[in-house]
Structure 1
Amino acid sequence: MSDAPVDAVVAPRVTPVTSEFDRDTAVRAREPGVYEARLSPGWAIGKALNGGYLLSVLARALGEALPHQDPFTISAHYLTATVAGPAVIRTDTARTGRTVSTGSAGLFQADGNGGETERIRVLATYGDLAGLSDDVRTSAEPPAITPLEKCFRPTDHPDGTQSVPEMARRLDLRIDPGTSGWALGAPSHRGEMRGWFALADGREPDPLSLLTAVDALPPTGFELGLTGWLPTVELTVHVRARPAPGPLRVSVTTRNLAGGYLEEDAEVWDSADRLVAQSRQLART
């Protein structure tokens, strides 16, 4: 049975700013469907802002604009490099129903000539994760990851925290030694990356932070022997459940590098051994 369209006036949601992540992904309504954001340099890798962080900002705006709050599936195309500072997000509601709603959003920044440049364009379907059935039939299994206390922190770099990406200071990442050979000059060439993900200030995971988690680990290209960060062309995330409290396990793999592009498939598992998010992105070398 398809959803019948419904018309409703939805009061703006108020998101309490309780953590650095909430503060840095906050949006403010300028007018119906249009939101202002101030993108934080704290989520940069080199000069570029992380694609997962930016997706979380856009997802928060869509969660304000649509009658449903949780992203079920969200796809982003990264058009031009996004920089820290002010941005405008313009949303458009394509359809609303009883159980799901669909909309799009674009993130724009000033171009320095009195105009605007679109940086990212998103299409997403939202619903209520709490209302989903608890029937799970899966052949997927949690990844085998070294215990958290035996994994490497990016901030353990021998040259100090100034030698790690700015974003690493926002996160409590622990990289599995089995996928850390690249850091020692001995990549495995298997195209795998595994690790534990949490926010450094202790904020518990939620659907929005899952969008950051899928893009937070070092690129699998490092374990293929590549150097340098790989810009994201497109990223699609499926959020499957609200995560339980505690650190998340993230596994990312790539099977095909060709023509200067590679795919990365990510799975995110919560502390209750549930597969809470899946993603695929296309990145260029």
Structure 2
Amino acid sequence: MSEQAIASDRRAVPGDSEFDRDTAVSRREPGVYDIDLRAGWTIGNAVNGGYLLAVLGRALADALPHSDPFTVSAHYLTASRPGPAVVRTETVRTGRTLSTGQASLYQRDEHGDEVERLRVLASYGDLDALPDDVRTTATPPALPPMDQCFGPQDGPTPVAGGSAITGRLMLKLDPATLGWALGAPSGKGEMRSWFGLADGRDADPLSLLLAVDALPPTAFELGLSGWVPTVELTVHVRHRPAPGPLRVSITTRNLAGGFLEEDAEVWDSSDRLVAQSRQLARVRLGRPANRP
């Protein structure tokens, strides 16, 4: 979706967007939630890990007395598929400023047995209650203007590993990190992009859980094209994002033993670092370049 479309009067708002509808959970009973995982958030056949994190994040926001995720750590146990799922939550501790809970997502396999797909431990609080004291040496990524960057729709052929989720997002990738799409990866393990939701909805703390896992894998710029499934992902939400597109920067400094780490930073339109993450992913060569 173009930046002109995002700026249109028809842009969605939080609570009334595709992201909100597709991450909405229905409380069956205290601590138990039902959801139908949507096929629009898949990469290949698997549901994107950032979308799943937002689903569990929304369930925990309902279950805990605080509504904003501060830190969320997820272990991806088996690949999730579109269709019915159950989220079970448990309150671990509640305090004045922070509450901690855990959540797991389950689906039925082909035999009808319940399988745990994802397990999360998270602490929630009130981002608006934090002191406005910032001391950082971090700097925003130097991205070219959006009209000089490229998204999946700009290529002459479908991007390797592209899938349904690209229609839900506004991605404009830095040309300096797009060598893999031209058959000439840089070898640097970097990915940078402007980021937003395709319907123009501004970011909030829950959508930051999606943003950290929505770009193409840095493995592509390392010259790898295999499936890169997430093993573990930890996200720290640092501030409520200002309106406008986000900038996401992801780097990998070490690939060893078939695993790599990805460190992500998310910056808002006011040049504030609003989220950070680190994930461990497995590199599998010789398979389609998809990542749940």
TM-score scaled by length of structure 2: 0.90
Q: 1:279 aligns with which of 258, 277, 280?
A: 277
Q: C-alpha separation between the residues in 1 aligned to 2:277 and 2:30?
A: 30
One-letter amino acid matched to 2:198: A
- Which residue of structure 1 lines up, in the alignment, with residue 216 of structure 2? 218
- Shift of the 229–247 alpha-carbon distance from structure 1 to 2, 3 Å rule, reads farther
Question: Please, what is the CA RMSD of the aligned residues?
Answer: 1.5
What is the number of equivalent residue pairs in this alignment? 271
Unaligned 5+ runs, structure 1 = 1-14
Q: 1:239 aligns with which of 237, 252, 272?
A: 237
| Paired residue secondary structure (2:135) | coil
Q: Point out 4+ residue stretches in structure 1 off by more than 3 angstroms.
A: 160-164
| Paired residue secondary structure (2:197) | coil
Identity %: 70
Q: C-alpha separation between the residues in 1 aligned to 2:271 and 2:227?
A: 30
- Deviation string for 1:193-230 (max 9, x for gaps)? 00000000011100010000000110000000000341
Q: C-alpha separation between the residues in 2 aligned to 1:191 and 1:146?
A: 19
- Which residue of structure 2 lines up, in the alignment, with residue 94 of structure 1? 92
- Which residue of structure 2 lines up, in the alignment, with residue 35 of structure 1? 33
Q: C-alpha separation between the residues in 1 aligned to 2:141 and 2:277?
A: 15
Q: C-alpha separation between the residues in 1 aligned to 2:46 and 2:161?
A: 16
Q: C-alpha separation between the residues in 2 aligned to 1:232 and 1:160?
A: 23
Q: C-alpha separation between the residues in 2 aligned to 1:256 and 1:234?
A: 16
| Paired residue secondary structure (2:132) | coil
| Paired residue secondary structure (1:193) | strand
Q: Greater CA deviation, 105-114 or 160-169?
A: 160-169
Q: 1:198 aligns with which of 187, 196, 213?
A: 196
- Which residue of structure 2 lines up, in the alignment, with residue 84 of structure 1? 82
CA contact (8 A) 2:152 2:158 kept: no
Once the two structures are TM-superposed, the CA of residue 270 in structure 1 deviates from its matched residue by: 0.1
- Shift of the 94–151 alpha-carbon distance from structure 1 to 2, 3 Å rule, reads same
Q: Greater CA deviation, 71-80 or 108-117?
A: 108-117
Give the number of the structure with larger relative contact order, counting CA–CA contacts within 8 Å between residues 6 or more apart: 2
CA contact (8 A) 1:155 1:169 kept: no
